[in-house]
Structure formats: structure tokens, C-alpha cells
A and B are shown apart, each in its own frame.
Chain A
Amino acid sequence: MAAIAKLQISVQSFYHPSSIDFSSIPNRNSSPLAYSGRNPRRRDGVSLYRWWKDRHFLAPMRCRSFRSEEEKTGRAPLKRKGPLYSLKSLILKVSGLPSQSGGGEYRKAAVEKAEEIFFSVVTQLGRYLLTMMSTGVILAVGFQLSGGDNQMNTLIWYSWLGGIIIGTMIGANTVLEEHCNAGPRNVVITGSTRGLGKALAREFLLSGDRVVIASRSPESVCTTVEELNENLKEGISMAGDKGKGKFSRAKVVGMACDVCKPDSVRKLADFAVDELGSIDIWINNAGTNKGFRPLIQFTDDDITQIVSTNLIGSLICTKEALRVMKSQDKGGHIFNMDGAGSGGSSTPLTAVYGSTKCGLRQLHASLQKENKRSKTGIHTASPGMVLTDLLLSGSTLRNKQMFNIICELPETVARTLVPRMRVVKGNGKAINYLTPPRILLALVTAWLRRGRWFDDQGRALYAAEADRIRNWAESRAHFSFTDAMEMYAENTWVSVFSLSVVCAFIILSSSSGAFPGT
């Protein structure tokens, strides 16, 4: 509250010099009104922030990570050192008395815990106040520059609000990332020796998870395990000391497995349990397509293979994963990969592939009903369009022109999907890459994306996988705005939108009140 008062004072002080000339006197008259209007706005900001904090911040784990970060930044704690430490010592004194009389480890632990929670809350509060103060300063500067022009002020308020929203989103992104890093997951990914599966495996591995990869051919499993181990080593060396803890339990193992053979899948599940102890996430990624052509040109083997891999494979893998996860106390999560046709739209030239994927969508609904009360969550993940062999086999020049706009590299998709897969909760969630904001972005920037992956002759412009991985570390740090937008459920967007409408209404009504005569 102090900061808010301070902010108001500072704004007031800026108002006074601006009201030297006569024309702005009505403005000053209206200032109490404007302030009363501003307070609810501030509260809205606070409540949004609180709400978001409640959702993401309450676990002490994450708070601790925040504290450590805060201490590293140095400047902020210095400021608050006095009151903070006095409070801490006060608590210690209070707790010290009973511990001397009754004493015990338990109380000590409780005090430590309380201290920790208190510390993190204060840290958060301090951060929040600091942020608000700095935005206040910016606002004040803005008002100073606007020279009391009402429309300008409205504009400033809007941009302030926008800034707060975007800042909150960016904050949420970092928090979620930190939260993601809490504790390694045990992950099984089928069909993970190339394409998206490999990218997913790498992303999980570099998040510090323990990954089991599987594919039909033992050789490719071996080479992929070696490659991923290399990536892991690079990742550790890049991260330096900070990453030591994170990667302490990361490892990758592999096993040859044909997903349409029940025995093979059972062996894979048992192998994963032997190696990792439990399975937290099972991803049915194996899928095949065999080119784009009409059904009458598919041979019996093609059809059998596509259906076996996509449909039978998913059924059997889900069954085995359910078996393993049912015996685990914490349950687990199973992901089935969507593909073309999942939405129900027809898929000419990939009729077989499309209909298996469409069947999987219905399977998803049935499985959810069957596993309503269990701790095992069944989810779908939709990678959208990924530049892998599955898509590129038999694509024409014109297709490639279109791929420029909407396609993504597997690494990009994996980077978006994996954090969400790691923190998934409940049952029946859909984790999509191509969401409306992304499609919108792609369409808006279509012109810029023309030569992104393929040139006019349809030659691939993007780097080979090995080169991509080399440049991977820096691109990892790169922040994506759409990623931040994805963090929120749709209802959040609705509330943010309505909030801004309310704010706009308040602003407009208070500013029109400035000219009672007109």
C-alpha cells in the first residue's frame, strides 16, 4: 500500500508543475476523480497478479528458487535488508523461547519452514513493489511528457496496462520453466530415433529427465542413444555449475521395440521399469504414413504397417502403459500423438493414415471414460506440421511453399510441447502446438515466411540436424512471445480481455468527467 501512496504522491507532484498554465486547471480539478479511478485499476492489476501467483507460486519449491535468484541479483535484497532481517530475528526470538523450554527438532524444522515461507513471501512482495514503483516512475514520466493532455493520458494508461499484462506473461513463462525443472520425470517415447520423437527425447533429456527411447531397429536405437548422450554432455558443459544439480539424474537408455508386437511392448515397459523404477510419462509417438497417394496404390503391406503402427501400436502401448501406471502410487500420464485427420476433416491421399489418427481421437474419448477415476491421465499432443520425413515424403513444390508458412522444425515444436507435457495434470488434456494464436501469427507473417524452409525450387534451406543442434543452446534461451501466450488457458484470455474493457471504461468515463461542460 505504501508504494501505491508513494506513487500517487509522485504523480501528484508531477501534476502540479504541469498545471501552471490555465488551460489545465480543469484537469487538476478532476485529479481526485482520476485517482479514484486509478485505484481500482491498480487493484485489478494486483488481483490479476495475486490470482496468477496463487496458481503458480504457492509451492514452496518454486519460491525457494526465486529466493536464490533474488539473492543473486543483489540489489533488491540490500534495500530491504533492515526490516527484513529485523523481522527474521524477531521470529527467531519468538521461536527461540519455546524451543529452549520444550525444545525439539520438530519445532526447529517448523520455524525453518515458516521462515522460508515468510522469506519468499516478502521477496515476492518486494519484487512486486519494486516493479510497481518502476512502472509508476515510467507513468509519471509519461504524464509529465503528455503535458496534461487527456487523450495522451488515456493512451499512457493503456500502454501501462498492456505492459503489466505482457510483463506478467513473461514472468509466468520463467516461473513455469523453473517449475518444470523440479524433479526429473521418467519418460518413455516410442518411435524416437528420428523426427519429432528424437527432438522430444532430447528436450526431455535436457530438462534433466530420464528417457527411454524405442524404435524398431536396434542399430538406430544405439546410435540415437549415443547421440543423445553427446547432447547431454554438451548441455551439462553449457550449463556450467548451475546445471550440475539439474542434470544429476538425467540419463538416456534405449531398446528396440516394435509397437505392434505385444511381447515387444511388454518388454519395453518392463525394461523401463527396471531401468528407471517407474514411468511418469509415456508418449505414443510412433507413426508412419508411407507416402501420399490414393488408397488403390497402397499395397497390403503398406496398409497393414500403417494401421499396425498407428492404431494397433497405440492400443497396445496404451494398454501396457496403463498396466504399469496402475501399479504406481503416483499414477502417470499417457500421450497419444494427433496427426492429420484427428479433427475429422477428410484426408485424401493419406486416407489410411488419416483414418487411423481419427480413430485414435475416438479412442482417446473412450479411454478417458474408462479411466475416469484412476490416477492415470490420458492426453493428446498435437505437434501440428513438423518438417520430418513423414510429412516431406512425396511433397510437391507447391506443398513446400505452403510448408514455409505453417511448418516448424521438430526442435521448435518439442521445445514448446515438452514443458507442458512435464507439468500436465489431470486427465484428457490436449497439448497443441498449432493453436489459434500461432496460426494467426503464421498467417499474419506469411509474407515474411516465404523462403523460410524451402526456396523457389523446393530445395531445403534449413540446416541439417547436427548443425541445428549445435546452434541449439543459444536458441533455447530465446524467448517466444507466443509461448507466453500459450501459458494461459482460454478463460484467462477472456478475463484479461474483460478486465481491459472494464479498465478502458473507467478510464474513458473518468477522462470525460474532466470536461463536464462539453
Chain B
Amino acid sequence: MASALALSPTLLPFSRHRRSILSPAPQNPLLSSIPRPHLLGGGVVSLPLVPSGRVLWRVRAETPKQEREPMVPPFNVLITGSTKGIGLAFAKEFLKAGDNVVVCSRSAERVELTIKQLREEFGEKHVWGTVCDVSKGEDVKALITFARDKLNYIDIWINNAGSNAYSYKPLAETADDDLMEVVTTNTIGVMICCREAINMMLNQPRGGHIFNIDGAGSDGRPTPRFAAYGATKQSVVHLTKSLQAELQMQDVKNVMVHNLSPGMVTTDLLMSGANTKQAKFFINILAEPPDVVAENLVPSIRSVPSRQSMRPTYIRFLTGLKAYSQIFSRLAFGARRNRYVIED
């Protein structure tokens, strides 16, 4: 029985939310005595390095199906790290489409400035903003409270905050603080945000979608000169995958986690590394300004809730075909030379 108890918390949050929202007991005896034959041991197959198959482990939904409200526009969107770069471009694009947006960032000043600027453009009633350090649990909880306060619910949550400490150096020369900052923001931040977002969305009648932004290295290819960044981005993609499996395992039907790949965007993060010949070459060929990327991606993001589908997606801006054709046109016709940075 001890072993059965150990796993029972798996079911708890979901059952708690759906069944007895007020039930404070974390170790509900009723729940922990659920018969376990439907838990196949195969769930752990994914643990070892054995090439595991699909997760066989399904937890039966034990509550009657809740009525789900269809997700219709305008959507309520929350974007982390959205006072500059691609986050800001996303915010603008969503606002253009008529959605409501919550912006946040670590600096109060920048949040103020962004809100002011966006409100001038899109009106008072669509933009809200608060200070939030995504790697701090309390900050993210406060952000959720703020969003619930202003918008009542969130349909689309974009984990955009990411950092590279704006340095491109071999690992051996990278400062310790930079390493810490990169991992804290990119990995811990995304994990905490995902956890809080899932927690919030489970209770929402409309459900919700979470988008994690990937980056260089998320395909597993090496990222010399920014090894830590690459490793964190790979871990983000893997986290998305694991969360998808987890949600499926728990039979959660109203929340889904997706990956979102903006490709190369000419933000500070990328441009601070444009100091080698190779980097300049690829930036000129493949990178796009944030507003172009946002213009292309936001319709795809918005189509996910409009379709009412709960299937995991991986939305990409820079697809392989596109990248190769652009490289080809550069090599063949010299297109895009010196587009953003001067090559020698």
C-alpha cells in the first residue's frame, strides 16, 4: 500500500480542482485508495535510457466531464519578458488582432514605458502590465493574481522571457553569474511559469494554451560560444514534450503546452553575438526583424485556440526548407548580403 500511496498524489491536483475545490486535505484517503490496476508499469519505461515506446500510463478521468466553454476571440494573452524584442512585437500583433494582453518584465520602468506606449496606440482597455521575475515563484504567483484580477482568465500564455546574458564566449570564459542568469531565466523561469499556468488554466472553463519559445540548440545541434543558452533551450523543448505526455497521462483535456519557434530574430539577444564572420553571414541570411516574425506567427498562434483542438503543435517560423532556400539564394545570387550587419 505504501507504494500505491506514493503515486497517488499524481491524481490529486486534478481531482481536487474538479471535484472538491475546497477540499484542503492533500492526502485524501479516498483518492489514495483508488485501485491501481490501470496504472501500467510501462510509465517508467520512459525513465531509463532504453528507447522507450509510448507512455502506456493513463489515469482514468474520475470526474464527470465538465462543460467546456468554446474558446472564442478576443483572447486574453499573457506574454512574459514582453517589454522589448520579440515579446513586444507579439504583444503589438495580438493587440492589432483585438486581443487583450498582459505584459511583464523584470524592470518596472520598462513595463511602465511599454504600457504607456501600447495604450496610446491601442486604447486603455486592452493592455495591462506588471513587474515579474519569472524565476521567482512568488513573482509568478503575483502575476497570476494580477492577470486574474484584470482579465479573469488567460487563454494564451507565452513563455517568452529568455536570456543569454548578452555574451558570446566559450564556456570556460563565461562568467559564473552569466551562467546562473541564463539557466535561471530560461529553465527555472519556464518551469515555474508552466507550473503556475497549468495550475491556473486547469480551473478555467475555457482551458488554455501555453507556448514555450525555443531557440538555438533546441534541435540538439551544438551551439558553441553560447553553450549554456543552447542547453537551456534544449531543455525547454524537452520540458514541453514531457508536459504534453504528463497532461495526456492525466487525461487533462483543457490545457495544452506547445512549442513555438521564432527562428532567428534581430533582437539584442542575437545581435550581441554578431561578431564573427560566420555569425554575420547567417544573421544576414536567416534573421528577420521581430515585427515580421510576429506578423507571421501570431495568426498561427491564434488559430490554435480558434480550432478548438487540443493537439500539441510545434509552430515554426523558420522552417528547414525556408532556411535552405535562403542560403541557396544568397550563395547563388548574393541576396541579403550586408542586410543587418556589414560583412567584410
Contact = CB atoms under 8 A, between A and B. Distances in A.
Interface of A: 262, 292-300, 303-304, 307-308, 311-312, 315-316, 318-319, 322-323, 326, 338-352, 354-356, 358-363, 365-371, 382, 384-385, 391, 394-402, 406, 432, 434, 439, 458
A363 B228 contact: yes
B-side interface mostly: helix
A400 B41 CA distance: 9
A315 B228 contact: yes
Contact of B41 (A299, A350, A360, A399): A399
Select the residue from B36, B39, B51, B187 with max chain A CB neighbours within 10 A.
B187
Nearest to B170: A370
Interface in B61-105: none
Select the residue from A319, A343, A391 with max chain B CB neighbours within 10 A.
A319
Contacts, number: 220
13 contacts: A296-B13, A345-B52, A348-B43, A348-B243, A359-B231, A359-B232, A359-B235, A366-B222, A370-B172, A384-B48, A385-B48, A391-B47, A394-B7
B188 A293 contact: no
B249 A369 contact: no
Nearest to A358: B238
Q: Classify chain B: how many residues form its interface, as a range.
A: 35 or more
B233 to A, nearest CB: 8
A395 B47 CA distance: 11
A348 B232 contact: no
Interface stretch (B117-125, B176-184, B270-278, B322-330): B176-184
Contact of B224 (A303, A358, A369): A369
B234 interface: yes
Nearest to B53: A345
Given A365-B220, A395-B44, A307 B242 contact: no
B239 interface: yes
Interface stretch (B148-156, B193-201, B303-311, B336-344): B193-201
A351 B190 CA distance: 12
A167 to B, nearest CB: 32
Contact of B171 (A262, A345, A370, A397): A370
Contacts of A361: 220, 234
B255 to A, nearest CB: 10
B263 interface: no
B269 interface: no
A294 B250 contact: yes
A270 B195 CA distance: 39
B238 A354 contact: yes
A363 B13 CA distance: 34
Contacts of A351: 191, 239, 242-243, 246
Contact of B10 (A307, A349, A395, A402): A349
A517 B157 CA distance: 82
Select the residue from A304, A366, A397 with max chain B CB neighbours within 10 A.
A366
Select the residue from A293, A382, A396 with max chain B CB neighbours within 10 A.
A396
B40 A307 contact: no
Nearest to A458: B3
B6 interface: yes
A293 B242 CA distance: 12
B210 to A, nearest CB: 11
* Pairs of residues from A and B, 9 with the lowest C-beta to C-beta distance, nearest first: A359-B235, A300-B137, A398-B41, A262-B176, A362-B234, A358-B238, A366-B227, A365-B222, A363-B231
A295 B10 contact: no
A348 B55 contact: yes
Contact of B242 (A262, A355, A369, A402): A355
